[in-house]
Amino acid sequence: MVEEIKLCSNKIKISQNIVVLTGAGISAESGIPTFRGENGLWKNYRAEDLATPSAFMRNPQLVWEWYCWRRRIIKKAGPNAGHIALKEMEEILRERFFLITQNVDGLHRKAGNENVIEFHGNIWVTVCSQCGKTRWDETENYSEVPRCEACGGFERPGVVWFGEPIPERVLQASFEKARNCDVFMVIGTSGIVQPAASLASIAKSAGAFIVEINIERTPLSPLVDLNLKGRAGEILPAIVENLKE
Ligand code: BJW
Ligand code: ZN
């Protein structure tokens, strides 16, 4: 493992552009439940009941309850060693480093990363389902579905649900980054949700060296050049240590 981590660090050292894609696994060590797998959020809740536009239309109250519950967990959580290592990586590599996260918890920005795309939105943003007006919102309990100040429409969490498109600018910027990097790291994601997962294949087709950090194998594992099996909060700090040498 030490040798593999060295290899990864060396690839990063000589790279011109590195892109990192993170998923729920990187926040697991902050105490935020992942979606799938052991203790995954969807063992108790069915995705199709909660993370879809039709679920919201059917029962906005229930969907808000779920998001408020998650807001409370996220509010209490802070960045862990994995987040902090990625912040240090950005400090070292500056504009050669770019982060795309599927997480809505905002922990990468909290850790200090600036070159970040929040691919699936942010849980602290609330958006009007009618007129699209957005606002920053730290409410952790709604007894009623919140209404838009401007038009009175129902407000919803500012995240991307199943069946919804990724905002065009976000998608294009992410594809562009993936096409133009020479190292692509995929960290703590099950790699099954599209189009996020396809970013790894895009980078691979463009010739990038692909690294995966995960405690398990995923559908992306066969395409990666280097598998680092283990916790992001342990492996990432070790990679960054080598970068400092
Ligand atoms: C650790 C660890 C540690 C644990 N260290 N690792 C092709 C085929 C079939 C379906 C589709 C398709 N293309 C598109 C679709 C539909 C759908 C989709 O992908 N479905 C799949 C399930 C098959 N995709 C969509 O609907 C997307 N939109 C779309 O395609 O639009 C098209 C369109 C165009 C034009 C008009 C209209 C439509 C949108 C997808 C949105 C996903 N949204 C969610 C919810 C976000 C808000 C919220 O948080 O509530 O995003 S779903 C959920 O999954 C969330 C996550 O970001 C996303 C990915 O999950 P992630 O991060 O990978 O987490 P887990 O839990 O799955 O995995 C954790 C991993 O960590 C595991 O591997 C662990 O082993 C690992 N781990 N501890 C390292 N310490
Ligand atoms: Zn409105």
pLDDT tens digits for range 151-175: 999 999 999 999 999 999 999 999 9
Which amino acids bring their CB within 6 angstroms of ligand 1?
A: 23-25, 28-29, 34-37, 40, 51, 102, 104, 120, 159-165, 188-190, 192-195, 213-216, 218, 231-233
Write down the mean pLDDT value for the chain: 95
Q: Is the pLDDT confidence value at 213 over 70?
A: yes
pLDDT tens-digit readout, 91-131: 999 999 999 999 999 999 999 999 999 999 999 999 999 99
Query: Measured between alpha carbons, how far is 108 from 103 in angstroms, rounded to an integer?
Result: 9
Q: Closest-lying ligand to the alpha carbon of 153?
A: 2
User: Is 44 a residue whose pLDDT tops 80?
Assistant: no
Ligand nearest to the CA of 53: 1
At 233-243, the pLDDT tens digits run 999 999 999 99
Pick the residue whose CA is nearest to atom 45 on ligand 1.
Answer: 161
Q: Distance from the CA of 102 to the center of ligand 1, in angstroms?
A: 8
**Could you tell me the distance, in angstroms and rounded to a whole number, from the CA of residue 57 to the centre of ligand 2?**
16
For residue range 215-230, list pLDDT tens digits in order: 999 999 999 999 999 9
Please tell me the predicted confidence (pLDDT) of residue 245. Answer: 81
- Length of the chain counted residue by residue: 245
Q: Please state the pTM of the whole predicted model.
A: 0.96
136 alpha carbon to ligand 2 midpoint, in Å? 14
Site to probe by mutation for ligand 1, drawn from 83, 162, 221 as the one with most ligand atoms within 8 Å of Cβ, is 162
| Residue partners of 89: CB distance under 8 A and separation at least 6 | 12, 18, 20, 97, 236, 239, 240, 243
Cβ atoms of 154 and 163 closer than 8 Å: no
150 or 245: which leads in pLDDT? 150
The letter for the amino acid at 52 is: T
Q: Given this model, what pLDDT does residue 36 score?
A: 83
Instruction: Please list the active-site residues.
Output: 120
Three-state secondary-structure class, residue 227: strand
Average pLDDT over residues 170-198: 98
